[in-house]
Structure formats: structure tokens, C-alpha cells
């Protein structure tokens, strides 16, 4: 009986992963509201019924994508902070890797759709807000590593500027940039660290 139950859970988990992967591609190319469940079923090679068995609707799929991105980004920032604390990375290298992770965003159109949806969909908006709260903690740690004297209003301001850079650079392709993602991350990191160290 147990073996039978285990066999049944494996394809279900696999189906969920296929649905989320297909949803990323479909929503990124066609838009969240322009994509139908029928299109998603074809792309994921599952039935519409299976989608609704795993997700209540498209909003739940978006929420799952946001949660997966949130978990992945937090793991990345945890790793950066650990490597910085261990002396494996300089502050400049830490910001460079952080920015490269953002600049090299693959689902840029989907990111815009999710941000727009966060204003209409309270659960998605709450997830984005929670994500930003945790990101702010990492940013403050990195900023203080660049300039240990930062505190109070100066630290708050540094946090806002770095967060704005992360959001802006994540959608840089709209401006048709001439710099590569690698060069953008490297130069931006140097400028951010220089600015943080110049704050008195």
C-alpha cells in the first residue's frame, strides 16, 4: 500500500514542476492574463484537470513561481553573505555577483507581469513585500560591510538606492544597453561600493 502511494506521488510532483516551467515560458512570451489553461496544459504536456488538481488557478501558479524565485534568491544571498563573512569574496565581488544575478534575468517580461499582478492580487503583493523585507536585510549587511560607519538615516538611504539599482538593472534590456551583463554588474558594483564608502 505504501509503495503504491509513493508511485502515485512521483508523477504528481513531476507534473507540478512541468507546469511551473511551462508557465514561466508561456507567461513570459504571451503574458499572464493572455495565457489560457488550455495553452498551459499543452505546453506542460498535462491535462487541464491535472493543472486544477495541483493549483486553484493561474493566480496560484503565479504565487508558486514567486515563492520559488524568493527561495532561490534568498539561498543565493545567504551564500554571498557567508562567503563575504568568510573572506572568500571582497565587498566589490559580493555586489558584483549580486548584480549579475539580477542583470542576467531570463524572465524579464514575466517579472513585469508579476509586479503588475502584485498590485491587484493581495497574496502575491504580500509575498513580494515579504521578499523585499528580507532583501533589505541582506542589502544593509552588504552596505555595512562596505562602510561600517553607516547607520540611521544614511543606512536607510543606502538601502533604498541599492534596492532601486537591483530593480532597475533587472529590466535594463528595455533601454537596449551597449554593455554586457558581466561588464554592467562589475562596473555598477564598483560605483555602488565607492558611493557607499563616500557616505559620511
pLDDT, position 105: 63
Q: What is the pLDDT of residue 5?
A: 47
CATH 1.10.10.60 residue ranges of the chain are: 1-55
Please identify which residue in the block is written with the cell numbers 509513493.
Answer: 6
Q: If the chain, 200 residues long, is cut into consecutive pieces of 10 residues, what is the mean pLDDT of each piece?
A: 45 76 91 91 93 91 89 92 96 95 76 84 85 91 96 95 88 83 94 93
- Is the separation of the CB atoms in 65 and 73 below 8 Å? no
* Domain range 1-55, CATH architecture: Orthogonal Bundle (1.10)
The pLDDT score that the predictor gives to residue 110 is 82
CATH 1.10.357 residue window(s) in the chain: 57-198
Give dist(CA 155, CA 161) in Å, integer: 10
Q: Has domain 57-198 been given CATH number 1.10.3470? A: no
Amino acid at each position: 500500500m505504501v509503495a503504491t502511494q509513493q508511485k502515485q506521488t512521483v508523477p504528481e510532483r513531476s507534473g507540478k514542476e512541468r507546469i511551473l516551467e511551462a508557465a514561466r515560458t508561456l507567461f513570459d512570451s504571451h503574458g499572464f492574463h493572455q495565457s489560457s489553461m488550455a495553452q498551459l496544459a499543452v505546453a506542460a504536456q498535462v491535462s487541464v484537470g491535472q493543472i486544477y488538481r495541483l493549483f486553484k488557478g493561474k493566480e496560484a501558479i503565479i504565487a508558486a513561481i514567486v515563492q520559488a524565485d524568493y527561495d532561490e534568491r534568498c539561498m543565493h544571498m545567504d551564500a554571498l553573505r557567508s562567503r563575504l563573512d568568510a573572506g572568500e569574496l571582497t565587498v566589490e565581488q559580493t555586489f558584483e555577483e549580486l548584480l549579475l544575478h539580477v542583470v542576467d534575468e531570463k524572465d524579464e517580461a514575466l517579472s513585469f507581469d508579476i509586479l503588475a499582478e502584485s498590485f491587484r492580487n493581495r497574496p502575491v503583493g504580500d509575498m513580494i513585500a515579504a521578499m523585499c523585507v528580507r532583501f533589505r536585510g541582506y542589502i544593509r549587511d552588504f552596505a555595512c560591510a562596505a562602510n561600517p560607519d553607516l547607520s540611521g538615516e544614511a543606512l536607510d538611504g543606502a538601502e533604498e538606492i541599492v534596492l532601486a539599482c537591483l530593480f532597475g538593472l533587472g529590466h535594463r534590456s528595455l533601454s537596449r544597453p551597449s554593455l554586457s551583463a558581466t561588464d554592467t554588474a562589475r562596473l555598477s558594483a564598483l560605483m555602488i561600493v565607492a558611493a557607499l564608502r563616500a557616505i559620511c
